[in-house]
Structure 1
Amino acid sequence: MKLRVLGSAGAEFPGFRPPAFLVDDHLLLDAGTIGSVLTAEEQWKIRHIFVTHAHLDHIRAIPALADNIIVRNLRQTVVVHAIPEVIAAMGEHLFNGVIWPDFTTLPDRDAPVISFHPLETGAVSALPGYDIRAVAVDHTVPAVGYIVSHGGKTLAYTGDTGPTDEFWRHVDGIDALIVEVSFPNSMEALALTTKHLTTSLLQTELGKIGKLPRRILITHPKPHYYDTISREIDSLAMKEIELLHDGAVFEL
């Protein structure tokens, strides 16, 4: 399984892009970054996007991707998978004909550029060669993380979450875990209020896992605190942990 980090920051800032993780060139976990990184040909390969929640930094690149496809007059549909609450939010507030055209009906209803596919929390979606489970996490809006299995490898992605429980039951000994740390330890009160993690909170969360994943990849740091978070991650002295940077590529 190939993992390409298109963006991994908790905000947009020079040198930092919002979260998006491309799996095997055609499956995207969150969509904060697409067209500013991928070539036209790379964009056309995307067929499925799994969205963790409806916050703008995780969905902001989908409208531009849809526009790029229709302007190029490509007859293809990108399936956006998400829990019903996320689909409802995107339909009401984004693809509503006011903020952006409703690409679920363009160029026509029978062959739209964007098609929403609702997911049931806890259930497994089967794509050719892939099993993808949506697992509830604890954020300020309805949110899930994803467990992606393919070719004997397993990748887990929390999306945005504060302290949670159910997700950790699915990650024992897996190949890679992408988990957020948004704030430095000194901002724990804000992290808890906004339902994010600090390094110290992450350490507690990792204690809930029986056998740690082989790789623990840290995403979503606020750019203003990247260096501080990096030092705090290093202080854990855990060989499994790595703070992500945009553009990284992994073979799992």
Structure 2
Amino acid sequence: MSDLLIVTGASAGIGAATARMAGFNGWSRVVVHYGSDKTGAEETAAMVESMGAQAYLFQADVSKPKAIEKMFAKIAELKPGRIGLVNNAGVVSPTGTFADRTPELVKKVFEINVFGAFEVARQCLLLMRDWEKGGAMVNISSAAARLGSANMYVDYAATKGAIETMTLGLAEELAAEGIRVNAIRPGLIETAIHAKGGAPDRLDKIGTTPPMGRPGTAEECAEAILWLLSERASYVTRTILDVTGGR
């Protein structure tokens, strides 16, 4: 049986690292999804293929439910197999205080991080049921969900709180079907997301604050994700795993 790993937001950061490492972890086919960074996604796909797996490149704006539905309709045309989902696509708002969180900013970050992630998970579930090959999901949360990200991006933190609650409920719903649902909660990780939020020097300032004394890497997050998706984690569901260096 040919397993299929679906990674949203695979053009950079944790998503790209997970897709790149998938071949080493037994995934023979990888869906590389991207929103706008086609070049980054093509680089990820090339790395996937160099590792001996087959890559499928898909673009979709996850803030638009119809775009997600269309993407999964195309994925459904592939040969059925066990599905792994890395529900990773997400954005941060520009950094600022709570008073800076205008309705427009909050709406944008929730449309992608929450509504998009919900619909990705729902479409993936429908495909898992259609193919009847089983599978597992890993949602990407953030340590911000329990820390709150005061004076940075409380709205982003709130979206990740929603993702964690979704993970718990969905995992309980699907356990009887043999579909496991977990999440990881990355801490301070060396990715471009800080720069995208307007704080490129964030890790320089606080990267040594975790008990382990350093920021983490996207690859360390990917290892945790791929373990949770694997049969090595066969008795793990409804769990949110900190990848935070003890923070």
Whether TM-score is above 0.5 comes out as: no
The TM-score normalised by the length of structure 1 is: 0.35
- Whose strand proportion is higher, 1 or 2? 1
The TM-score normalised by the length of structure 2 is: 0.36
- Whose helix proportion is higher, 1 or 2? 2
